[in-house]
């Protein structure tokens, strides 16, 4: 989300929030420097740095770490939790799918651009949650319409490139698409403001293929607190987590089989959702607070609750959530992202961590993770840190598949138990803006 059109509270934190506007990432100098060093190292016969030399070193089977990473991702689906390509279609092409050839590089056509089919293939992406995002300023206005347009954009670009993409709505369909050589494509609804406090609207989004909803974006809904509330004492936060209606939203998502996404929400909302939900949760694009003390990240005590819930934290690559106190440096690096992944693994185990890079939703990224082609480099780094193939397969997508299947089983059980759709309406007195609502309905 770009600076333009932000609310005041979000704009003052523009340097710390995701970017979905028209910025530039100029990498020519950096790429040239790295290339020059590589040539020099070849001539002199010396390593140009520990990470590169390690990845060039042979493993016990004679392969390099990068080759091993590529092999793992070629045989097991890498499922990324969050990519904002649909928003780039909105911002840069007015949702015109027909005018954009994703089979060609978008470098130099869209700026910034992190995603196209050649780079998805190079990055060994096996499945992707495409984010249906609309700005918080659309709340109480046309958020529902704009969100359905984003869903439509996803459905249309997936249909346009059938040799690459396959629209999927279940864990099994992800695996089936991967077996067919396709990138399984799903929709994640990024922000509870998109349903306009309506459980019926939530159900309609499920029917068009939405398989997770982020409970809030960087604004409160009329029933849940977002992460910016953590700047205040808990007693001063609007709801102190979820309202009673917010708890019903979580339960209706469980009944549908829609994943509950706790990225962007306040700590109290995380805790409330983990208390209420009957199914494992996800954090589609969130990192570790202990490594970078930013309220968009997950704190250790909540990580422990997430383990008890059997959920998964899909680590974000945005440099402002990766590189900040207490361990900040001049520039964010791939190694720092690996530190976040390692922290979650070391604290609660390899069964509870995944990847949610946030490509095309942020302006700046760590060195070495500039676009969707770079996932194998991350996995090579983890191989150099001693990760086993089994744990890397869990990180890539195994954990997300487990959580997805568990949510599907909860939905089936609720249906078997005769749980009907939740029909409660939100108390209109809790709405801050009624100007766009018909009083007679």
**Active-site residue set:** 82, 84, 190, 217, 264, 285, 358
| DSSP letter, residue 262 | -
> Pick from 307, 318, 330, 302: which is nearest to 355 by CA?
318
**Residues contacting 177, CB < 8 A, separation 6+:** 127, 166, 168, 183, 184, 185
For 345, what's the count of Cα atoms within 13 Å in the CB-facing half-sphere? 20
Q: Which residue, chain included where needed, has tokens 């040539």?
A: 39
Q: What is the DSSP string of 350-366?
A: GGGEEE---BTS-S---
Query: Taking Cα atoms as reference points, which of 77, 84, 140, 149 lies closest to residue 432?
Result: 140
> Cis before residue 436, ω within 30 degrees of 0?
no
Distance from C-alpha of 67 to C-alpha of 251, rounded to nearest angstrom: 44
Rounded to whole angstroms, how far apart are CA atoms 54 and 44? 17
């Amino acid at each position: 989300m770009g600076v333009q059109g932000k609310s005041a509270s979000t704009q003052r934190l523009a340097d710390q929030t995701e970017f979905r506007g028209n910025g530039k990432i100029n990498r020519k100098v950096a790429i040239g420097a790295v290339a020059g060093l590589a040539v020099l190292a070849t001539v002199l016969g010396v390593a140009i740095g520990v990470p590169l030399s390690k990845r060039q070193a042979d493993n016990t089977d004679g392969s390099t770490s990068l080759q091993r990473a590529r092999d793992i991702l070629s045989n097991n689906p890498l499922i990324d939790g969050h990519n904002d390509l649909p928003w780039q279609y909105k911002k840069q092409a007015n949702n015109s799918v027909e005018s954009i050839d994703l089979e060609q590089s978008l470098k130099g056509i869209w700026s910034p651009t992190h995603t196209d089919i050649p780079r998805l293939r190079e990055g060994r992406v096996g499945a992707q949650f495409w984010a249906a995002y609309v700005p918080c300023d659309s709340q109480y206005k046309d958020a529902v319409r704009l969100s359905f347009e984003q869903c439509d954009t996803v459905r249309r670009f997936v249909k346009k490139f059938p040799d690459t993409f396959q629209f999927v709505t279940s864990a099994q369909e992800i695996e089936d698409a991967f077996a067919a050589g396709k990138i399984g494509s799903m929709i994640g609804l990024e922000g509870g403001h998109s349903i306009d406090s309506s459980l019926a609207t939530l159900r309609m989004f499920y029917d068009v293929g939405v398989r997770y909803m982020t409970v809030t974006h960087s604004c409160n809904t009329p029933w849940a607190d977002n992460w910016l509330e953590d700047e205040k004492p808990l007693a001063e936060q609007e709801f102190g987590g979820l309202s009673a209606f917010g708890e019903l939203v979580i339960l209706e998502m469980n009944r549908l089989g829609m994943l509950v996404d706790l990225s962007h929400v306040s700590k109290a909302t995380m805790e409330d959702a983990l208390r209420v939900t009957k199914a494992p949760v996800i954090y589609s694009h969130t990192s570790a607070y202990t490594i970078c003390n930013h309220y968009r990240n997950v704190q250790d005590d909540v990580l422990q609750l997430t383990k008890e819930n059997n959920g998964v934290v899909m680590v974000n690559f945005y440099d402002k959530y990766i590189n900040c106190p207490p361990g900040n440096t001049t520039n964010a690096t791939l190694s720092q992202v690996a530190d976040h992944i390692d922290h979650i693994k070391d604290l609660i185990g390899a069964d509870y961590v995944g990847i949610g890079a946030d490509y095309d939703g942020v302006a700046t990224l760590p060195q070495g993770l500039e676009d969707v082609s770079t996932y194998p480099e991350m996995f090579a780094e983890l191989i150099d840190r001693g990760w086993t193939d089994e744990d890397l397969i869990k990180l890539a997508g195994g954990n997300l598949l487990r959580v997805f299947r568990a949510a599907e089983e909860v939905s089936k059980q609720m249906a078997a138990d005769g749980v009907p759709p939740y029909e409660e309406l939100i108390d209109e007195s809790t709405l801050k803006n009624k100007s766009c609502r018909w009083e007679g309905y």
